Amino acid sequence: MITILDFGMGNLRSVQKAFERLGVSVEITTSPEGVVAAQKLVLPGVGHFAKGMQVLIEKGLDQAIRHVVIKNRVPILGICLGMQLLTNFSQEGNAVGLGLVDAEVMKFHNIAGLKIPHMGWNTIQSEKSSRIFDGLFESNYFYFVHSYYVKCNDPRDRLFVTSYGNCFDSGFQKDHIVGVQFHPEKSHKPGLRLLKNFAGL
């Protein structure tokens, strides 16, 4: 069973449908109690980091996420903003994150010839062995939409990197904590395979 957290800032329906296409049972929760009861948790998100953290704190969801991930060691997958919220801090609103992965969120600098936000299809390069990458290839393309990127402080947490002007961390994994900057639910067969791999953790 996958629990998807609805905190009002995510395209959770497309994430839900992607898991259902894989035959994975899904439930949606908006409450701390639903988070704490999760067997596997997905944190999707689209929008502003500081606003996202404000919503999580106001609803008591921040403490519930920390409890279920740290105390219960429940696997969590953060997608796009959801990945960024798992970090320590973001330049977007100069806000503190959940602090589950030692990383910061940085703003893309203007690079000649490249548009910000980074929007469209790009490849990922695997940085370490992980079941999350099973059945995937570095020639696979994934769909990105973001103006900020994650920088891991501990290189051992880097799962994927992507080149867009400069190299940035497009995925991390710290034990049972996984985050991806791209949208697997919009990335066709490779994205579905990644979600299947997470469901099998």
d(C-alpha 184, C-alpha 160), whole Å: 13
Beta strand 103-107 with 125-126 is unpaired
Residue type, 187: S
Domains of the chain with bracketed CATH: 2-199 (3.40.50.880)
pLDDT in tens, 32-56: 999 999 999 999 999 999 999 999 9
List 92, 118, 146, 185, catalytic entry? 185
Residues 20, 138, 183, 188: which is the catalytic one? Answer: 183
Residue 55 neighbours by CB distance under 10 Å: 16
Q: Is 185 annotated as catalytic?
A: yes
Closest C-alpha among 185, 199, 183, 13 to residue 81: 183
Helix (H, G, I), strand (E, B) or coil at 16: helix
Q: Are 169 and 146 in contact (CB under 8 A)?
A: no
Question: What predicted TM-score, i.e. pTM, was given to this entire model?
Answer: 0.96
Could you report the per-residue pLDDT of 117-156, keeping only the tens digit for each?
999 999 999 999 999 999 999 999 999 999 999 999 999 9
